Amino acid sequence: MRLQSQLSVVLGLLLSAAVQVGALATSEWRKQSIYQVVTDRFARSDLSTSAPCDPSQQVYCGGSWRGLISKLDYIQGMGFTALWISPIVKQIDGVTKDGSSYHGYWASDIWSLNPSFGTTDDLKTLSKALHDRGMYLIVDVVTNHMAYLGCRSCVNYQGLNPFSSQSYYHSPCTINYDNQTSVETGDVRKIWNDWVSKIVSTYSIDGLRIDSVKHVEKSFWPGFESAAGVYAIGEVFQGDPTYLAPYQSYISGLLDYASYYWTVNAFQSTSGSISALANGINTLKATAMDLSLYGSFLENHDQARFAHKTSDMALAKNAIAFTMLKDGIPIIYQGQEQHYAGSDTPYNREALWLSGYSTDSDLYTWIKRLNQLRTHAISKDNSYLSYRAYPIYSDSHTIAMRKGSSGKQVVGVFTNVGASSSTTVTLSSSASGFSANQQITDIVSCDSFTTDSGGSITVTLSGGLPRILYPTAVLSGSEICSSPSTPTSTASTASGAATSTWSSASSSCTATAVPITFNALVSTSYGETVKLTGNTAALGSWNTANAVPLSASKYTSSNPLWYASVNLAPGSVVLYKFIKVSSSGTVSWESDPNRTYTVPCAAATVSSTWRR
């Protein structure tokens, strides 16, 4: 281990009930979804939502284990099944040039608790409260260094427990983060192993998040994790997947820093590199030993918030969805759901109580829906977790990912065009795995689609929002897109008419008109245009002279898309067809029968293919 003046190590442990609740097997961690908190900044014991906390001051703000207990509904309400809390051991006292030890990483005594966070009983109560909910506990562990407030030449080693002699340490110095000889002595290893074994067995810890794994020799970790007897996920702060991968020979899980960098770079602006993301995911898929035990994240306490890089909510939703639905265990950092925008440390450690714990915020409900889908997909597909997600389509602004076996797969279509733009993508059956004339639901909008006779599907990502496509037939049993006020619509393509389902609550719809986007794949010759006509005045009342013209601004030879948006009355049943109009005015109708569509009470998209 290495001692650093004014920097500390803290071995985080999660305290639980005195009786050991059966530890979660490593294989079961694949199913979990993790919420990370900075204990001092999540909730206060007095439940204040106005107590001041200036992150730049880097001092304790009053968050506690008792506060956490009071807000577990907020965490579980988003669908999280595990809680990662700050290290809990006793810290150095006082304020250094880098602030105080509020974060929990500057340990002076690993056998005592941090009194600023609460008492032993408080931790036991928190643990029991989580386990009673069927949730699990994760704690930070740092074995690399201890902390001492003072000069390097005057360290009082006797004030450190249990490493209370200079013989345990290298000479005091600035930490070399590429050095991997930090805990090489046998005595140090034995103490850490005895410690973690005792803590886990006494307090029913379910998992460890291990700090600074890269900075400790690899041979230490197998014995340490074995002594703990629980799943461990390590921080290897390195974006190269070939550097990360070998660490899984020594520790069960790794934080997916490789994907973190690619994802942030892809979605932080409309000029982000989708190609680097697609190529990176393919490289990681080919390199990693077991991606299902990686931790997938977009933010944490060491990185600038995503919202600091862009305020565009559509980009945030794409980045979060991509992170949560790719391979790995999703990890959301507190405040992400409130769109906090702090920059690098310490500004990214804002007090969550100042948000008022809103459960109606855009990203809170967004994360909840994504957790719902992932949980449901796992329950329906025994191979979902072992299926390695991969890009099935990408262009300069869009990437589509598939995860899951055919008939139960999640297909996510993500874009960085931003909230002020839209884009349209056609996915072939060979890419998506969808079959001919299959009903598909977008769990973002609850729009429903039907693939064409070849199994292809065309979707428009309106306002830069992603589409998360899932077979409608296997949504049964979930609460996704099943609210009485939520309509689902199905559009025909090459064969058959459009159909729609509408709940009994449709009579309560107050909208007088809603925008319906009609997408049609129609190959045309030079000078031809495509129009839409039907049985309503908005569609020209079958008069081709009054038909709605479709735009070809996104038309390519491989994706001959024509589209238009028409305001229609909710609940009305629309009959319609597409027509081609030549440069001379000659009209050609697509073949029978008429298409049929029942207009829902919310904006929707109808995707079709020209019928010959």
Q: Which residues contact 564 (CB under 8 A, 6 or more apart)?
A: 517, 518, 532, 548, 549, 550, 551
Catalytic residue among 109, 122, 211, 447: 211
In three state form, how does the secondary structure of 223-252 look? HHHHHHCCEEEECCCCCCHHHHHHHHHCCC
With beta carbons less than 8 A apart as the criterion, state whether 274 and 414 touch.
Answer: no
Q: How far apart are the C-alpha atoms of 270 and 135, rounded to whole Å?
A: 38
Is 211 catalytic? The answer is: yes
Whether omega for the bond prior to residue 487 falls within 30 degrees of 0, making it cis, is: no
Cα atoms found within 13 Å of the Cα of residue 186, Cβ hemisphere only:
0
User: Which region, left, alpha or beta, applies to residue 364 given φ > 0 means left and ψ of -120 to 50 means alpha?
Assistant: alpha
With a CB cutoff of 8 Å and minimum separation 6, the contacts of 94 are: 100, 149
Nearest Cα to 339, choosing from 328, 348, 330?
Answer: 348
Please report which helix (H) or strand (E) contains residue 34, including its range: strand 34-36
Q: Helices 120-132 and 186-203 sit at what angle, rounded to 10 degrees?
A: 60
Which residues are CB-contacts of 580 (< 8 A; sequence separation ≥ 6)? 522, 524, 528, 529, 530, 531, 587, 588
List, as one string, the DSSP characters of 574-597: EEEEEEEE-TT--EEEPPSS-EEE
Q: Which residues pair with 137 in a beta bridge?
A: 83
* 284 contacts: CB under 8 Å, gap ≥ 6: 241, 256, 258, 259, 291
State how far the Cα of 562 lies from the Cα of 554, in Å rounded to an integer.
7
User: What's 306-372 look like in SS3?
Assistant: HHHHCCCHHHHHHHHHHHHHCCCEEEEECCHHHCCCCCCCCCCCCCHHHHCCCCCCHHHHHHHHHHH
Query: How many beta carbons lie within 10 A of that of residue 197, not counting itself?
Result: 15
Is 235 among the residues known to form the active site? yes
The residue from 122, 235, 256, 299 that is catalytic is: 235
Q: Give which of 466, 476, 472, 462 is closest to 603, Cα–Cα.
A: 462
Alpha-carbon torsion 569, 570, 574, 577, what sign?
positive
Q: So which residues are the catalytic ones?
A: 211, 235
